[in-house]
Amino acid sequence: MQAPHRPDAKTPTPAASTQSFSDAERAAVYRAIHERRDMRHFSGGSVSDEVLLRLLRAAHHGPSVGFMQPWRFIRVTSGALREGIHALVEQERGRTAEALGERKNDFMKLKVQGVLDAAEVLVVALPPGREAHIFGRRTLPEMDIASTACAIQNLWLAARAENLGMGWVSLFDPAALAQLLQMPAGAHPLAVLCLGPVTEFYARPMLEQEKWATRAPLQQMLMDNVWAQESRLEAESDAAAPPDQLPRD
């Protein structure tokens, strides 16, 4: 049986080994996490096949429920298809604005995509036949989506480390996008990813810069044991983190 968790027990320091991250490597991982941004302004250019494959390999090394690997990537190289995707996003942008009611005008001012400007456009979709995968999905079938989101996040972080911007666009009618890209019945598109060089990365989330929303304090998201019990962890105190690991937003 596992020993009960003792909050006061000191965590043993892992012995230095080839499996350990150096301080610099650890700082680089946190830097990629904190400086990753959802980008919608691209400066054209290109992404070499070598780098693109490195990024796709990073995505393909994401975790997945029952090792299902439910991600499929369509690289859109056709200008006509890009225009088609752009049109679908614009259509949904209008519908979303209508659904937002009083925030309609604020929403319409936001740039929500870079489909025409980014060096690369990748569409990420779930494949058909997912119902055969039961491991970890019997009660939570949406774990296929969760797994694919993990793959996309790997790609996003790796792109930041390659100094490339990425934007995740989900403003589209999935049935219309599936039809445009001739997906088989049962396939389900989840993301249009815009990827490529950018002039600079936003210092803070663009939606924060545009005063659409702000990041909630971590403390508000934390509980101990049961939902209503506030956590004793003091998330607002960053004293224990070295300065180069502090979030910049």
Ligand X SMILES: Cc1cc2nc3c(=O)[nH]c(=O)nc-3n(C[C@H](O)[C@H](O)[C@H](O)COP(=O)(O)O)c2cc1C
Residues that bind ligand X (CB under 6 A): 37-38, 40, 112, 168-171, 205, 207
Round to whole Å and give the CA distance between 146 and 166.
19
Smaller CB separation from ligand X, 32 or 171: 171
CA 180 to chain centre: 24
Q: Using CA atoms of 87, 89, 90, 95 in order, give the dihedral in degrees to the nearest 10.
A: 130
CB of 202 to ligand X, least distance (A): 6
Which residue number is nearest to ligand X in terms of Cβ? 205
CB of 82 to ligand X, least distance (A): 16
Backbone angles phi, psi at 128, to 5 degrees: -70, 170
Helix (H, G, I), strand (E, B), or coil: what is residue 108? helix
Residue 197, sorted as left (phi over 0), alpha (psi -120 to 50) or beta, turns out to be beta
* Closest to 170 in 3D by CA, of 77, 89, 54, 74: 89
Smaller CB separation from ligand X, 74 or 114: 114
CB of 109 to ligand X, least distance (A): 12
Smaller CB separation from ligand X, 40 or 188: 40
Smaller CB separation from ligand X, 40 or 133: 40
DSSP character at residue 1 = -
CB of 38 to ligand X, least distance (A): 3
What amino acid is encoded at 89 in this protein? Answer: V
Half-sphere exposure (CA, 13 Å, Cβ side) for 165?
26
CB of 247 to ligand X, least distance (A): 10
Smaller CB separation from ligand X, 19 or 105: 105
CB of 192 to ligand X, least distance (A): 8
Smaller CB separation from ligand X, 138 or 248: 248
Please, what is the end-to-end C-alpha distance for the chain in angstroms? Answer: 42
